[in-house]
Chains A and B, each alone.
Chain A
Amino acid sequence: MDLSNFFNYEFVQRAFIAGILIAAISSILGVFLVLRRFSLIGDGLAHVTFGSVAVVMLMGVSPLYITLAALPLVMISSIAILKLTGSKRIQGDAAIGIVSSIGIATGIVLASLSGGYNLDLFSYLFGNILTVTQAELLLSLMVFIIVVAAVMIFYDDLLAVTFDEELAQSMGIKTKRINMILFLLTAVAAVLAMKIAGIMLVSAMLILPPLTALQLSLSFKTTIFSSALISVLSVLCGLLLAFLLNLPAGGTIVMVNICFLLVVLGTKKILSA
C-alpha cells in the first residue's frame, strides 16, 4: 500500500485531522502549564484517565464512547488537583501525585474486578490514533475552537497569571477563574491526547513542544504559535514515519518531538559557541 492509497481510508483521514487538532490543543495549553511549573499535571491526569476508563468500562459503556464517558471524571479530578495545589498543607507536585495515585490504583483494582487485565484497557495505555471515532473527532474540533477562543479572549489575563499570579491578582484579574479554565481544558486535552499517544505519553504531548518553543527565546505570543507548529509537525512526521516503518504511532510522535527538542538545543549550543 502506497501513501496515496493510505490517505484514501476514512480512518486515516480522521487520524490525521484529529492528530493535528489534538497536537495544537495540548501544545498551546502546555506553554502555560510548563511556565507555571505544572508540567506533570498531564501525567497526573493521564493516570486519572486510566482509572476513569476502567470505571466506564466496568459500567458497560460502548467502546465508541469511552473517551467521552471518561471525560467528566477527569475534569472533576483536575478541579481536585487545583483545590489541593491551593491548599497550604499540600505542595503542588504532591497534589498531582495524590490524584495520580488514586487514578492508577482505581484502574488496576477495577480491571482486576472485571476479570483480569482487560485488553481494551491496555490499548489506552499506549494509544491508537487509528481508532479515533467520529464523535472524538468532533470533540477534538470543538475543544480546539474553545482553546483558541479562550486563549484569544483571556490572552492578557493568561499572560499576567503565567508571569506572576500575585501581580495578576493586584490587577483585579480573577486568577481562580483563569486557573479553573486552564485546568479544565487541560483535563479535556489529556483525555484526547491519550487517544494519540496513550496514557503513558500524554505528558509528553503537553510538555515537549512548549519546551522546544521556549528554547527559541521568542515573545510570548510567538512562543504559543511555535509550540503549536512544532507539535503539529511532530504529529504529521510521526504518523508518516509510523506508517512507513510500521512503528507504533504514539511512541513515534513522541520520538519526533524529542528529536525537535534535541535539534533546537544542539543548534543553540553551536550558535552560542
Chain B
Amino acid sequence: MQKFTTLTGVAAPLNMINVDTDMVIPKQFLTTIKRSGLGKGLFFEMRFDAKGKENPDFVLNKKPYRKAKILVAGDNFGCGSSREHAPWALLDFGIRCVIAPSFADIFYNNCFKNGILPVILPKKDVMRLMAAAEKGSNATFTVDLAGQTVAGPDGERITFDIDPFKKHCLLNGLDDIGLTLQHGKKIESFEDKQRASQPWLYR
C-alpha cells in the first residue's frame, strides 16, 4: 500500500449528501478481476451522458478539477455497498483524500486499506472548505496526516481526529495481513480453546 504523509493539490467540491457507492462506481465496472483501471468509471453516471459524452457541468469535468487530488463532500459519503471498487476508482482517478462531515462505515475502512485518507470534520468546517474549493485552481489544499491538519487556500489550518492505529498504518503504508500474522500464536490458541468449547464450529 502507498504511504500517505502529506498531500497538496486541487480540491473538488461535491456538495451532495448520501453519495452512495453506486454513484462512485456503478455496477457495470464491477465485473473486473483487477484493482486498476477503474478511474474511467468514477462517478460514471454523473460524469457522462447516455451517449458516453462528458457532462460539462459535472465538477470533475471542469478544467481545474480534472487533476483534483482531494474531494470535499456532504454527509454520509460512501453509503451503500461494500465494494472496494469505490476507493480503487478514486485512487485511479488521482483522488487520495476525501473530506466530509461523516462517512459510511465500510467505505471509511476501505479507504485506509488503499492509501486514501478520509477526513471527518465538523459540518461548518467542511462547508468553509467547500466554498474554498469552489475557487478552482486557486484552491490548493494541503493535508498533513502526521500533523492531522487540512489547510485551505487561505492557509488556515483545521485539525482533524483520526484513530492512532489507522494513522500509523497509513503513514507507513503497512500491510495489515503482515501485522496480523505476527499474532499467529494467539490465533492458534484462540482456535484451540474454541474447538474445545464449540466443536460444532469446526468441520
| Chain B binds chain A | no
A interface residues with partner B (beta carbon < 8 Å)? none
